[in-house]
Amino acid sequence: MKNTGKLLIIFILVLFVTMTPVIVSANTNARTLKELRNELQQLKNKKAQQTADKNATKSKINVAKNDIGNKQNEIETNTKDIADATAESEKLTVEIAEGKVKLDKLVAAYQIAKENNAYLDYVFDSKSYDELVYRSALSEQLMDYLNEEITSWNDKIDKNEKLKVDLAEKSKQLESDINSLSSSIDQWGAYLNKLEEGAVSINEDIKSTEELIKYYTSIGCSETEDLEKCASVKGDTGFIRPLKKGVTTSYYGYRTLSSGSMGNFHSGVDIGGNSEGTPVYSVANGMVGKIIRQYSCGGNMVYVYHTIKGVQYTTTYMHLLTINVSVGQAVTSQTQIGTVGGGKGTKSYEQCSTGAHLHVSLATGWYGRTYTTSSQWKAHLVDPRKYISIPAKGVWFYSRY
């Protein structure tokens, strides 16, 4: 039961794949293969430009991220410097307070020394007058010194306060720089996403354009031919007969000899009933892929490539008296590719035909493109009667359909 289910799924998948149309829908305005190739080149250029743009944007984002990191470090340093300045100012404030206490004491002592008569008396008859002078001078010096110190500490505090304001302002500026860098990064990121989406759709366009080129090339459209017209003519839905009338004289496969043993393998169907010079037509739209002239066994041979419902085939027409087409030529099922030979007209070089008839072979793939050796061609051979409506031996047909 399980296996049956799996087989059913595989069958449906195969069916789906086989039925998928070959023509891919692409947003193309190209009318010819040449224009299609130009479009492909433009798409590739656009892709390259977008890749460059993407890389440039990525590097801009990296630079901005670095920049943000540096600015954050700077802010950290500023914060630390502000804390240092605050601590120093606090220490200085304490020192100023202490200095002022000392100064007050000094001023008081000095005043007392200057205003106290007893002290002055002592000073005027004193032998220690020098000492007094010395002391009062020292006091004045000390007061001056303390005053200077306090002034310089106050200056230092002012400077610190100014530094703190400057640093805070600088940090504020850095924060705003970081914000604008961050919003730039967001914008660039959004742009990158858009580019990524664009890249996906460009890749899809490139792929479908390449598929179109492959398809139109495969059905044999020329570079400047109108693609719509070419596709309607060259892609085909089936095979018709190569002759307007005839009769099957030999089947595809191993021939049974009169002795009853198996004979040589016959690579196609022989159709008689036509004299040399009778027109031979291509069995479907396609392109001449290969021509061999005056081969000892097969004579003049034309190989035509076809694409039938998306599958590639090669048909071969042997023992031709004349060849009316050339390699690379696009043909329709109405194109005369040559004339029946195999009789007197080809006898001088042909050893595998004793009378006028057409030999038709059918192989899958394109002999000369899909594969290149005759043994590969032989491995791809199929019975033409399974694809072309050729009656049984001895039964005549009178139309190409």
Under the rule (CB under 5 A), what is the footprint of Zn ion? Answer: 270, 359
Instruction: Give CA–CA dist 340/278, Å, rounded.
Output: 5
Give the side-chain half-sphere CA count within 13 A for 342.
Answer: 27
Largest CA distance in the chain: 172
| Nearest residue relative to Zn ion (C-beta) | 359
Question: How far lies 192's CA from each of 179, 184, 199, 249, 372, in Å?
Answer: 20, 12, 10, 70, 47
**Nearer to Zn ion (CB atom), residue 225 or residue 270:** 270
* Least distance in angstroms from the C-beta of 235 to Zn ion: 29
Nearer to Zn ion, 99 or 272 (CB): 272
Looking only at the bridges linking them, the beta strands covering 299-308 and 286-295 are antiparallel
First to last CA, the chain: 45
Query: 148: which residues sit within 8 A by CB, 6+ positions away?
Result: none
Closer residue to Zn ion (CB): 272 or 368:
272
Phi-psi region of 394 (alpha: psi -120 to 50; beta: other; left: phi over 0): left
Nearer to Zn ion, 178 or 302 (CB): 302
Closest CA to 384 of 196, 173, 239, 277: 239
**Dist. CA 355–CA 51, nearest whole Å:** 67
Q: Shortest Cβ distance from residue 367 to Zn ion (Å)?
A: 17
* Contact between residue 163 and residue 85 where contact means Cβ atoms under 8 Å apart: yes
CA distance 242 to 244: 7
DSSP helix/strand/coil, 399? coil
Q: How far is the CB of 251 from Zn ion (least distance, A)?
A: 10
Strand ranges, E, within 63-163? none
CB of 267 to Zn ion, least distance (A): 7
- Is the Cβ of residue 205 or residue 270 nearer to Zn ion in the bound state? 270
Q: How far is the CB of 250 from Zn ion (least distance, A)?
A: 6
Q: Are the C-beta atoms of residues 163 and 87 closer than 8 Å to each other?
A: no
The least CB distance from residue 359 to Zn ion, in Å, is: 3
**Tokens 């309607």 -> residue:** 232
Quote the CA–CA distance of 345 and 349 in Å, as a whole number. 10
Compute the least distance from the CB of residue 4 to Zn ion, in Å.
44
Pick between residue 268 and residue 286 the one whose CB is nearest to Zn ion: 268
Which residue lies nearer to Zn ion by CB, 216 or 317? 317
- Our CB check for Zn ion shows the closer of 78 and 248 to be 248
Question: Which of helix, strand or coil describes residue 198?
Answer: helix
Least Å from the CB of residue 352 to Zn ion: 8
Q: Kindly tell me which of 65 and 255 has the beta carbon lying closer to Zn ion.
A: 255
CB of 237 to Zn ion, least distance (A): 27
